[in-house]
Structure 1
């Protein structure tokens, strides 16, 4: 099975609409088919537009709200409600999403979802997952939505690394697992050269979005490995990632923020990450949340006429 890059993040100048995501001519324009049936699902923090089965969409909505509630209880700095609404477009299948996919060299990409941050709203598009493992795309995009307003000036590698870190979220009962290993990233990096760390952290949003093929896969994998090492791999680095981001937020340049937060060189930290990968032990965190944590799973479903779907 061909590996699919998990998500695509567009710059804030992009605008997703259901009738065709016109992003510099890179996305195919299309209209919902005559036989498709769309509905709007309103939850506590999301609005979903979906042509997937009702039960599938409700599952996705519940997963989003559970993920958000647990993550906010785990990281209180994410608790502030975003001033922008989040709209999630759920396609029932890959074939259904095909007309809306980003095109490169005249062919649709393998991206199964993407995130668009606008001044007025956040937009997420996903294909309805059929397996628990496929919910990773939902969690990745939800993490983007939660992180977007909280980490100004953060390098693209850190944003994507955190989103990948949180994508393995699992919850059962009152216990959540966060930071589970991603085997495909480990396997990929075992066979490919790591990007020098200063180069990785200097990749801006536009450059990242222009990546494809091996470069894009390495970017996601190495970004995840760096974040995982900083958060879970070395106890001595506890809190250093937050200090690094705080330094950037306060106006420090990359080299200054890196030195002050990590107390080492780019080369030495890269050696640490490489050793972490070679060790092949990736501790994750179990978060036990109390019965006081409330997850609002209420959903209001509003059928949509085709004319309304065309306007979305």
Structure 2
């Protein structure tokens, strides 16, 4: 998924002093999920300072989450034109805005424009997005150039980047194909990623005979999380070599797949599977139950409610709200409850 934190984590308080208090109010409304109020406050700031890049970025974010990508791009372009790149900190602001324009274009499916903006940002995240776009478009040499830029500038991304480079430089067909599936997942096209990964992944397993099948389990879990039951079951059946500490993940993935099944017998079975789960870390088990509850909530609300019992996380509260149980959601997360009431 494209992380929205890359979009909203702008410097809200470094602009014109006379609107800094207004921007702080807008940021507070955003954090509470009161988007109409936040939009109204951002617009108030723009009345006083029409070229304020922070207020324009806030308006752009709100436009993007409403699906109005043209307005989001327009606001960001105006914000960028208001910043002098030669001023102190100006180039960093321009780079951040270019990355945000790239994210909007990605959300809009405008990959050529997204590639242009992300690359021009010259930020590690921008170059990684540019590499992933290049990978899915079959431009592997261009992708390697972007990946090398990331590798030399951001140590936190080196593991991800190294994995992409190894796959792209693999002579067997499964390497670049796995890279393409991973890039699709990284760009938020989850169903395409899962539906295209099976053949190269199984070919990799057959040719390389890995000591452990963690990668297959990872993709089986991803398939389960988005309700791709057939792909998930086929991948999970191929998981034969797994560390003892990861056995619970196999069981949890199977339980999630059963919850996502169209067969009522499978859905009922998932409750027993979670009840008899091998020793598992509580956070991991709760995350699996919440995922299963989200998938089964529309077909069997009773099972979803049983899965959520005793779990007090924001993700659980989100599923309770999906089940129209506002009281339960409020008890778990008052902050989320405010979002529901907007």
Please give the TM-score of this superposition, normalised by the length of structure 2: 0.23
Q: Which has the larger radius of gyration?
A: 2
Higher relative contact order (CA 8 A, sep 6+): 1
Q: Determine which structure has the larger helix proportion and give its number.
A: 2
Q: Determine which structure has the larger strand proportion and give its number.
A: 1
